[in-house]
Amino acid sequence: MSDLSLDATQLDRYSRHVIMDEVGPAGQAALLDGSVLVVGAGGLGSPVIQYLAAAGVGRLGIVDDDVVERSNLQRQIVHADADVGRSKVESAAAYVRNLNPDVTVETYETRLDADSIDEIAAGYDVVCDASDNFATRYLCNDYCVLTDTPLSHGAIYRFEGQVITIDPGGDGPCYRCLFPQAPEPGTVPDCATTGVLGVLPGTVGCLQATEVIKQLTGIGEALTGRLLMYDAADMSVETVPVHRSPDCPVCGESATIDSLDEVTYEARCTIPAE
């Protein structure tokens, strides 16, 4: 899409982007040409989907196998009370279609796994990991590293959140550099047992959406090589530099993972012994 292909309605809708020197018509055209796969339509996925759609990202893929429950509505703001019992991907897609007709939505009502991710994720410019389990996080990381696809990772726990951008084309770390293996099953409680501050995923998801927009437009400095940690309880933000691990099994100097078939993406996401 060229700069001149923005029509009058688009120039009006995206005028606050167009007048920014850093974005301008070319940056907005890049967003309209861009495609993002959002993995998870829950707490993190909701603000990601909302703001990417509002920004005019031309193609959004949404992956989730769950249905809307009333307990979701305290934080998963892309869904409404009338959506209870409806599939999350259809609820989220309806929201996007009502918000911005420029956006094409593709839904995948399934649980992402090693057998389906290549077919689903192929062709998307960026993957946004808004999942709530370790198996999916490692799967997204490994797929993106192996296919040189930028990845935005976010995670939340009670009052705390973290965000990092993984750019396989650079020299920064991947998710496995930070966390080589998932914790033992049952050692890390989830939101259903410990709760989560309802606004927390909104903050963290907005940071992820920001990173995705920066990837699509090439503006600013990405959170590569830096882990941003946010604590809503004391309103603190800390950015910690992180480095690629030479021993990382997927992006290290002697990487042992060159196929998703070499990892068991369940429980602890284990790598078979040599």
- Does residue 36 fall inside a structural domain? yes
CA distance 19 to 53: 19
- What is the number of domains present in the chain? 1
Q: What mean pLDDT do residues 9-19 have?
A: 97
Count of residues in the chain? 274
Task: Tell me the per-residue pLDDT of 211-234, one tens digit each, with 9 for 90 and over.
Answer: 999 999 999 999 999 999 999 999
Residue 241 pLDDT > 90: yes
Q: Examine residue 65 and state whether it is found in any structural domain, yes or no.
A: yes
Burial of 102 (0-12, 13-18, 19+ CB in 10 A): middle
- Residue 155 above 70 pLDDT? yes
Q: What is the pLDDT of residue 274?
A: 38
Cα(223)–Cα(128) distance, integer angstroms: 13
Out of 191, 248, 251, 269, which one is annotated catalytic?
191
| The pLDDT of residue 192 | 67
In a domain? residue 111: yes
Residue 75 lies in a domain: yes
Q: Which tens digits make up the pLDDT trace of 156-210?
A: 999 999 999 999 988 899 999 999 888 776 666 666 678 899 999 999 999 999 9
Per-residue exposure over 48-72, b if at least 16 CB sit within 10 Å of its own CB, e if not? bbbbbbebbbbbbbbbbebbbeeeb
pLDDT band at 263 (very low <50, low <70, confident <90, very high): confident
**pTM, full prediction:** 0.93
Instruction: Assess contact for 258 and 265: CB atoms under 8 A.
Output: no
For residue 36, pLDDT beyond 80: yes
Residue 214 lies in a domain: yes
Task: Examine residue 216 and state whether it is found in any structural domain, yes or no.
Answer: yes
Asked whether residue 267 is domain-assigned, the answer is no
191 belongs to the catalytic site: yes
Structure confidence at residue 187 (pLDDT): 60
Q: Which domain range does residue 231 map to? A: 12-262
- Answer whether residue 98 is part of any domain: yes
How far, in Å, CA of 151 to CA of 212, rounded? 8
Supply the CATH number for residue 237's domain.
3.40.50.720
**Predicted local confidence at residue 2, as pLDDT:** 42
Biggest CA-to-CA distance, the chain: 60
DSSP state of 160: E
Higher pLDDT, 28 or 169: 28
- pLDDT, tens only, 42-80: 999 999 999 999 999 999 999 999 999 999 999 999 999
Beta-carbon contacts of residue 49 (< 8 Å; ≥ 6 apart):
38, 41, 60, 62, 78, 92, 95, 96
- CB distance 42 to 73 below 8 Å: no
State yes or no: pLDDT of 269 exceeds 70. Answer: no
Q: Of all helices (H) and strands (E), which one includes residue 90?
A: helix 88-99
